[in-house]
Amino acid sequence: MRRQVIRLLAVFFFLSLAFSGASQAAEVVLYSSNPSELLDLVSKGFEAKTGIKVSVVRMGTGEAMKRIAAEKQNPLCDVFWSGDVAVLENAKENFQTYKSPETAALPPGYIEKEARWTASNDHLMIIMVNKSLVKPEDTPKNWKDLFDPKWKGKIVMANPEKSGSAYAQVYGLHKLYGWDGLNKLIANAKVLDSSSLIYKGVAAGEYPLGITMEYAAHRYIAGGDKNVGIVYPADGAFMAPEATGIVKNCPHPEEAKKFVDYLISKEVEDEVFAKYSRRPARLDAGDTEGLPSLKQMTLLASFDPMEANRLEKEILAKWKEIILSK
């Protein structure tokens, strides 16, 4: 009898270890440069829906790519989310194929040909205005208005060598106005090292104009800031998709797939757009309350993220040459 009790206790002990291990496996490790409040929203929502915990490691996009590459023999990350699609395209050998059923709602070109990255939302590049520093009659209507010498020292933009969104802006302006236009812009602009310094500086009244992302500017408007305005340039706003991908040989592959499904679902893209003004990648998502619909604005049709990726070294080398010559 005593031996049977000992055996039963041993069985229960090993079963408890097994179940403990299973519960520990129900986790997703996420690397992302997105804002903490957005990551909290998605992480808590996913855990509430699936019971799977999300462990977030927040860092810059460039740093995350370096870490994922360094860890490829023993991956610690399951999913990366944030950064222009070109960033993931450059590092796609570190990501595994996964075509979510949710991708049926995405436009062409929003999933890598082998499904190693998937677009999750779009960043719309716009001109942010501090209306206390810029008269209505002086407010730019086009990108080319920023080339006017009257704006010298009054425009801020981020360094495209350090910011993926800033590179998307430079590529878009290059498509529109070539190096002649970029030379004129560089002559007028102050170039800062971080994208966040652009919208924070314009909102604080440090600079009259900034080239930035719609969601970053709109959150001040949504928060009641009457001094912040957004210009959707008549010569073409730029739409740059942001992406997510599952790390190759990641520790929690099944949980990672469920997280990607959740992230690009209509439910989540609608919620992210409603609360943080990030345009959805899905064609069937996005209530534009408080923001103009894409049909109401001019978009740069020739903006091609893959071409931007192919030209990145060439454009950044020329950019650096112009900056150093000033």
Mean pLDDT for back-to-back runs of 10 residues, the chain (326 residues): 46 42 71 93 97 94 92 97 87 97 92 95 95 96 97 95 88 96 96 92 97 93 94 93 96 98 96 90 77 85 85 93 86
Round to whole Å and give the CA distance between 268 and 161. Answer: 31
pTM (2 d.p.): 0.80
pLDDT at 26: 87
pLDDT at 28: 98
Domains 2-122+241-292 and 123-239+295-325 share a fold: yes
Tell me the helices (H) and strands (E) count for the chain, helix number first. Answer: 10, 10
Residues 6+ apart with CB under 8 A from 117: 85, 88, 89, 92, 95, 111, 243, 244, 245
Residue ranges covered by each domain of the chain: 2-122+241-292, 123-239+295-325
pLDDT at 10: 43
pLDDT at 43: 97
As given in the structure block, the two tokens for residue 278 are 């990030």
pLDDT at 292: 85
Q: Which CATH superfamily is domain 2-122+241-292 in?
A: Periplasmic binding protein-like II (3.40.190.10)
As given in the structure block, the two tokens for residue 77 are 């990350």
CATH number (1.10.10.10, 3.40.50.170, 3.30.420.40, 3.40.190.10) of 123-239+295-325 reads: 3.40.190.10
pLDDT at 164: 81
Three-class SS of residue 225? coil
